Structure 1
Amino acid sequence: MQNEGKTPVGRRSPPPLRQDEQALLQFLVAEAKRRGDSMTQLAKSLGVTYARLAQWRREDARIENSGRPVFEKAALYLGWPTLFVLLHAGVVRLSDIAWPGKGSLADCMAREIERMRQHPRIGPWIPPAIEKANLGIRLFVAFLFNEYERATKADESRLDWLEELRNVSQTHLKEAKTALRGRARTAKKRDN
C-alpha cells in the first residue's frame, strides 16, 4: 500500500544503499538517514519528486544529468560547497581542475609519480603498478600526495613554532634551576 507521497507506508528508514549506487546519492541517502528524513523529505529538499529520486537510485536516470538548482540544493542539504557536489555527481572531474601544462596529462602524471618516488617518506611506498593505473587514479593519487605535502608543511611550520616555544621554556627552566641551586648554595654557606 502506498500513500500520496509515493513512499511505502510504514517504512521508517530508507532502503539499503547499493554499493554501485552513484556516489552523490550515497551521501544524500546517508545524510537523510542520519537526520531521520524520509526519502520523500530528501526528494523535497532537492526540489524533485520521490519518483525522480527513485529513478536515480534504480539508475533509470543519472543524477549527473540534473540541473544546477538540484546540485545547489544538494550542497545545501549536505552542507558542502557546490563544487564538492559536482565532483561527487561526476559532472566535474579532478582533471577539470588540473592546471594546463605544456605536455599531456599523462606526461604530467609521470613527472608527478617520479616526484612522489623521490619523497623520503612516501617514495618507498609508491608501487610500480601505479604507472599502469588508470589516468584518473594516478591523478587522484597525485592530488592526495599534494594535499599530504601541503598538510605536512603546515604541520612542520606549526611544529617549528611549538619546538621554538619548547626550547624557550627549556631555557627558562634551566635558568630557574640554576638560580635555585645558586640560592641553595648561598643558603648553605650562611647556615654554616
Structure 2
Amino acid sequence: MRATEAELRTLMIGGLAGEANAQRRLLQALAPVLRAFFARRLRGADDDVEDLVQDSLIAIHTRRATYDPARPFTAWAYAVARYKMIDHFRRRKQTVPLDDFADILAVESFEDASGARLDIGRLLDALPPKQAQAIRATKLDGLSVTEAAARAGISESDVKISVHRGLKKLEQQLSDAALGAARLGR
C-alpha cells in the first residue's frame, strides 16, 4: 500500500527533527512511489529507473533542509525527482517531444497536490496570457482544441500555435531552472 501525503509529510518532519527511524522509513516509503513515477515516464528503461530512484532518494536526503514543512511534501519530492529526470535526459543528450512534455509535468495522485498546482500555476503565469489560457484549457482542463478555441473566441490554429509556443517557453524555463539547480548542487 502506498503511503499518503500526510504519512510522508509526518515522516519527513520527523526526519528533520533528527529522528533517524522516521528518515529511514520515509526513504523506504518513497522508493516505490518514485519507482512508479519514473517507470511511467521511462518505459522499458528499468536500469535508468533504478538509477533515478537512487539519485532522487539521495537528493531528498541530502537536501531535506530545503523542504518547507508548511508546504505539501510530495510536491517538493516530485520536484526533486523531475530535476533528476531532466539531468538524466541532459547527460544522455536525450530530448523529450513536446507532446510528452505535459506528461512529465503531470501531478501524481496524492490527496493534496495543491503545492504542485501552485507550481504549475506559477509557471503558466509567467507566459503570455493567451498561451497560458490555451495550455490550461487543453492540457489541464482537458478541452479539445475546438472547445478551447470556442471558449477563448479564437481560431483552432491560434490555440494550437499558442499551446506549442507556450510549451516551448515552459520547456526553456524548466531547462534553465534545472541548470540553475544543478549549479547549486541539487
Q: TM-score, normalised by structure 2?
A: 0.25
More helix by percentage: 2
Instruction: Answer 1 or 2: higher relative contact order, Cα 8 Å, separation at least 6.
Output: 2
TM-score by length of 1: 0.24
